[in-house]
Amino acid sequence: MKFAKVVFWVAAVWGFLVLTPLYFMFDVIGRRDPPVITHPGFYYGFVSVGLVWQVAFVVIARDPVRLRPMMIPAVLEKFTFGVASIVLYLQQRMHGSDLVLSGIDMVLGVLFMVAFLRTADQS
């Protein structure tokens, strides 16, 4: 259970640190990596949903055994972003440097799976 708590706390803190600044970087992203973002609703929607997941990770970290079923969608949340990033990179629609962040999500997804498996005997 301690492993799951640590993994989900680390994921939550990392997510808050990475996602929160995006609320203030809408115009900066368009200038540094053109073209400009043309659908602010999608952009802020992504950031908002991402931050909500960080709250879910905090909730899971507080009681991973009881909330073990929520680890499955948490794994999916991590892997869907990672896989989508790889596909976009292979289509040459994303910079290779952007794969660093999605790679971290993939690692967290694997750690979430390990946490899920390690809490099985405790539920």
What is the 3 state secondary structure string of the chain? Answer: CHHHHHHHHHHHHHHHHHHHHHHHCHHHHHHHCCCCCCCHHHHHHHHHHHHHHHHHHHHHHHCCCCCHHHHHHHHHHHHHHHHHHHHHHHCCCCCHHHHHHHHHHHHHHHHHHHHHHHCHHHC
- Average pLDDT for the chain: 95
pLDDT at 34: 87
pLDDT at 94: 92
pLDDT at 123: 63
Query: What's the number of domains the chain is made of?
Result: 1
Give the pLDDT confidence of 56-115 residue by residue, as tens digits: 999 999 999 999 999 999 999 999 999 999 999 999 999 999 999 999 999 999 999 999
Token pair listed for 81 = 């972003």
CA distance 84 to 94: 10
In this model, does residue 52 exceed pLDDT 80?
A: yes
Cα torsion 49, 76, 97, 89 to 10°: value is -110
The pTM of this model reads: 0.93
Closest C-alpha among 121, 123, 120, 106 to residue 66: 123
Averaged pLDDT for residues 2-29: 97
Which range of residues forms the domain containing residue 62? 2-122
9 by Cβ neighbours in 10 Å (0-12 / 13-18 / 19+) ranks as: middle
pLDDT at 122: 83
